[in-house]
Structure 1
Amino acid sequence: MNASTKTLTQNTEGTASQVPLELLDSIEVGIAVLDRNFTVHVWNKFLENHSAKKAQSVIGGSIFSHFSEIDEAWLRTKIDPVFNLKSPVFIIWEQRPFLFKFTCNRPVTCAAEFMYQNVTIFPIVENNGRVERFCMLVYDVTEQALGKLGMEHLNEELKTASRVDGLTGLFNRRYWQERFDEMYKLCVRRGKPSTALMLDIDHFKRINDTYGHQAGDKVIQMLAALIKRCVRETDLAGRYGGEEFAIMLNDSTVEDARAVAERIRQLAQRLTVEHEGESISFTVSLGLAQFSADFKSAMAWLECSDQALYKAKESGRNQYCIYE
């Protein structure tokens, strides 16, 4: 029988109905009929067009021999209820983006590499009540998938923007404070040492007045990048305000924190920021306070590191001081 004149036979309540393949070809849904051996019996135009495989080349062969991207063991297990329970099976793109790896042939504005698909698989019940074949419907849900993924990406960007300081890429003050409060409570429960560190740029107003605010912003950015290199992923670094930064050194005694503070101080002292033909040098002062059970709140702890920072400023700047 010629492929163009074949019919799809489906038994419903014992009545056989003949569906011309021409009708199946006019539907914007992929339609395939397979048997228990996963041999293809129907392959409509939608599937031809998106797979670039003609019906006559696919029909009569195993679906797995034509589409290597399909996990055979997984699909056989997935389809078990179709034969054993005469129950339909659904595959949604959130669980598996596609069954057939069809390229996305939508307009050039389409951001997808491949077609996202929802697949419905239902049994074809013969007159004797047995299920020897099943029908597979493949829906193109690329637009819906991209819409949802785009919204999730936007939400993630908004979440990041609400946490991160736009100039430095460090945590902003509000989010840093929230995390610091959580770490304070953890220190109270665990009793392990951690150290809070405050630092700011010495004579920053002089930099702004001499070179301009854009130069000042560049100095802040360079110092932030330096801080990122000096702390661990488990530490918490943020821009606390203006030219002031706050760092929580997790599971670190004040002796451990000394090394970090001195490294930041030395690297900042050696750093030169180029701006509009000018070379700008700067130094930083730092204050350290190790956690103590005597601190009644996170802010009390941070205030102690701020007092140590003030002492470093009063003692001549370009140094660190430890809260006693």
Structure 2
Amino acid sequence: MGSVVRLDSDRVRTVMPNHVWRGMSRPDLRFVAVVVVASVVSSVLTTLLVVGPLVEAIVPAIVIPAVVSLPASIYMVRQRQKIQMLNMQLEDLLRRDPLTGVLTRRYFLNGVQSAMAGGGVLLVIDVDAFKSVNDTWGHPAGDRVLTEIAGRIGRAAGPDVRVGRLGGEEFAVFAAGVGLTDGQRLGEALRSEVAAMPISFDGTAITCTISIGLSMVPSDAEDVDPFMRLADRALYTAKQAGRDQVCLAEPLEARA
């Protein structure tokens, strides 16, 4: 025996007028039900035939690029991070002297130019008899001396004072907002810090001293270069006077 198909007469009736419905026999109703079901199935198939290709075309166009672009996006983010890190490293190389870790000449002078509006004290420092260190113990010993002296200057100057390496064995310090008396004290503190203890290298104690030229920078100064020249002249005077001392430059007005 075949399975019995039960018709939902209410659903079939909704698509037919009442007088037609009442006049139809049971077999007729079955025929109508088959027609209705076939119509519904045909509509569904037609919809799938129309929408299906669109779905097949649209979904890959949206999903596949998104999936493919995800690794590319991650790659681009990582590349940008690497570039930013390299830029920071390059900036640090340009900013910091690779041997001593203090500011390079360019960044030191640019920083002084920006910070000198309130005046301050500028000190130019030279390591005494540095050539003899290289000649006696070699350039590695000279590098050790420069590194240690830069560290001692930085510690004695403090965190709010700019310290830079001008080149070779020459350094510079700028203390913003510092007057003459405190500037001279700072110079003497730097000098005594370097001379206080020999520098150890490969079992050898190397005694080092520094000479310092000091120039006062007034609050109305517009350019650092004239005061660098004054400090250089004062440094030369300190060298000529016997080294290991601080020499104050004449005011710029006195030389005019």
TM band (smaller chain)? 0.5 to 0.7
1:275 corresponds to which residue? 201
1:57 corresponds to which residue? none
Alpha-carbon distance in 2 for matches of 1:148, 1:310: 49
Task: Tell me the CA shift for residue 256 of structure 1.
Answer: 1.3
CA contact (8 A) 2:103 2:165 kept: yes
CA contact (8 A) 1:295 1:301 kept: no
2:126 corresponds to which residue? 200
Alpha-carbon distance in 1 for matches of 2:207, 2:64: 66
1:284 corresponds to which residue? 210
Q: Counterparts in 2 of 1:52-67, with a 5 A limit?
A: none
Q: 2:91 aligns with which of 159, 173, 176?
A: 159
* Cα distance, 1:28–1:256 mapped onto 2, change above 3 Å: farther
Higher helix share: 2
Task: Tell me the CA shift for residue 139 of structure 1.
Answer: 8.0
CA contact (8 A) 2:119 2:221 kept: no
CA contact (8 A) 1:196 1:246 kept: yes
Q: Match for 1:214: what amino acid? A: P
Q: Match for 2:209: what amino acid? A: T
Alpha-carbon distance in 2 for matches of 1:299, 1:293: 15
CA contact (8 A) 1:220 1:243 kept: yes
* Cα distance, 1:200–1:269 mapped onto 2, change above 3 Å: same
Deviates further, 306-315 or 294-303: 294-303
Q: Match for 1:221: what amino acid? A: T
Task: Tell me the CA shift for residue 308 of structure 1.
Answer: 1.6
1:229 corresponds to which residue? 155
Q: TM-score, normalised by structure 2?
A: 0.66
Unmatched segments (≥5 aa) in structure 2: 1-50, 251-256
What is the total number of aligned residue pairs between the two structures?
A: 195
2:145 corresponds to which residue? 219
RMSD over aligned Cα, in angstroms?
A: 3.0
Q: Counterparts in 2 of 1:70-219, with a 5 A limit?
A: 141-184=73-116, 187=117, 192-219=118-145
1:133 corresponds to which residue? none
Q: TM-score, normalised by structure 1?
A: 0.53
1:3 corresponds to which residue? none
* Cα distance, 1:148–1:296 mapped onto 2, change above 3 Å: closer
Could you tell me the percent identity over the aligned residues? 31
Task: Tell me the CA shift for residue 301 of structure 1.
Answer: 0.9
Task: Tell me the CA shift for residue 315 of structure 1.
Answer: 1.6
Q: Larger Cα Rg: Structure 1 or Structure 2?
A: 2
CA contact (8 A) 1:29 1:139 kept: no
CA contact (8 A) 2:197 2:207 kept: yes
Unmatched segments (≥5 aa) in structure 1: 1-14, 32-117, 119-137
1:321 corresponds to which residue? 247
Task: Tell me the CA shift for residue 293 of structure 1.
Answer: 6.4
Can you list the C-alpha shifts for 1:34-79, whole angstroms capped at 9, x where unaligned?
Answer: xxxxxxxxxxxxxxxxxxxxxxxxxxxxxxxxxxxxxxxxxxxxxx
CA contact (8 A) 2:119 2:217 kept: yes
Alpha-carbon distance in 1 for matches of 2:112, 2:119: 14
Q: Match for 2:150: what amino acid? A: A
